[in-house]
Amino acid sequence: MKVLVTGSAGFIGSAICRRLEDEGDEVVRVDVMLPQAHGATAAPDGTHRVDVRDAESWTGLLDGVDAVCHQAALVGAGVRVADLPLYAAHNDVGTAALLSAMHAADVDRLVLASSMVVYGEGRYTCAEHGDQVPGARRIEDLDAGRFDHACRVCDEPLGWALVDERARLDPRSSYAASKVAQEHYATAWVSQARGTAIALRYHNVYGPGMPRDTPYSGVAAMFRSSLERGAAPQVFEDGRQMRDFVHVDDVARANVLALRAVVGRTGFTAYNVCSGHPVAIGDVAAFVADGAERPQAPEVTGGYRAGDVRHVVASPRRAAEELGFVAEIMPENGLREFATAPLRA
């Protein structure tokens, strides 16, 4: 298979390229080398420096391509209103331009990097009163250390449950809104161009080659940076907020499985890409600290960031049943190894 990979020099994109080439596929590497992701690093050999927003720049690159694996995106929290134009330009316009170029080149198979952020909050349930959709947490509750959502009937803390791909989309940031838009563009393209698209909703991705201390780094990298400075990792809230952490090697494998699966099917389908083993953020900090050269016990601060979700944990079932994807690296092992893995400057 000949696959064009956008964002090929990035953390996830480069892992996908390596796996495809290891399996004998031909890879066309495309990356604009955004300074936010790469600093002043030169483009790797064989990389076409292309801005996905420029539809005319795709001339010739899509010739003979069987499928596109679209990883290029501006990422990060995107919590400021001022961030909206950047995310809309790189993620929304970039995806629309790519899909237009694919149609012109008669390429009708797409695997799209999406994210858990499309869900906003996770799924909540009360043991007595069932599933509920809570609103935003109140600042006065957070200030008082009441971090869990409360049942609207009995006022007891709501528990978390697994989110599957049928959950409503509820973006809470510029980045999240742009990821929802990418999925919607792909859905429209499938209908208009008679293409096939798979969106992979990544949960918290970590592993070797992750950027260090940039908007592209995640909380695990931040915990590691604290340890390397000789400081204790700082854990917000009570440390019991639940997430799913998935290793970049598993994410690369999920993309390759999706690229194989996109052949011979029709329509648009979304899949969670997760480990299937939920972990509390306090335990993430403890695992990273345990594997560090200079371990320090994490410090649970009780602080918070307004707008953060309490829990969001994915169901791995659809990806397992339809793609054959089951994560191989469990968080308790991968996060300990991550503590000393090579990172990108």
**Which residues are CB-contacts of 108 (< 8 A; sequence separation ≥ 6)?**
102, 193, 194, 195, 196
Long-range contacts made by residues 12-17, C-beta under 8 angstroms, separation at least 24? Answer: 12/71, 12/113, 12/202, 12/205, 12/248, 12/251, 12/252, 13/69, 13/71, 13/72, 14/44, 14/209, 15/207, 15/209, 15/248, 15/249, 15/251, 15/252, 16/69, 16/71, 16/251, 16/252, 16/255, 16/256
pLDDT for res 192: 95
**Residue 57, Cβ density class (10 Å: 0-12 exposed, 13-18 middle, ≥19 buried):** middle
80 Rama sector, left if φ>0, alpha if ψ -120 to 50, beta otherwise = beta
| Residue 13: exposure state from Cβ atoms within 10 A (0-12, 13-18, ≥19) | buried
- Distance of alpha carbon 66 from the chain centroid: 24
Query: For position 146, what pLDDT does the model report?
Result: 96
Q: Where in the sequence numbering do the catalytic residues fall?
A: 175
Nearest by Cα to 325 from 249, 245, 242, 267: 249
**CA atoms of 251 and 237, how far apart (whole Å):** 28
**Tens-digit pLDDT string for the chain (345 aa):** 999 999 999 999 999 999 999 999 999 999 987 866 666 677 788 899 988 888 777 879 999 999 999 999 988 765 578 888 888 999 999 999 999 999 999 999 999 999 999 999 899 999 999 999 998 899 999 999 999 999 999 999 999 999 999 999 999 888 999 999 999 999 999 999 999 999 999 999 999 998 876 655 689 999 999 999 999 999 999 999 999 999 999 999 999 999 999 988 999 999 999 999 999 999 999 999 999 988 899 999 999 987 789 999 999 999 999 999 999 999 999 999 999 999 887
Q: In this predicted structure, what is the pLDDT of residue 4?
A: 97
Give pLDDT, residue 217.
Answer: 65
Residue type, 182: Q
The pLDDT of residue 191: 95
Report the distance separating Cα 146 and Cα 139, nearest Å.
10
Q: Residue 237: its pLDDT value, please?
A: 97
Distances (CA, A) of 240 to 235, 281, 310: 10, 6, 9
Q: What integer pLDDT is reported at residue 78 of this predicted model? A: 54
The predicted structure's pLDDT at residue 79:
58
Task: Report how far residue 267's alpha carbon sits from residue 87's, in angstroms, rounded to the nearest whole number.
Answer: 26
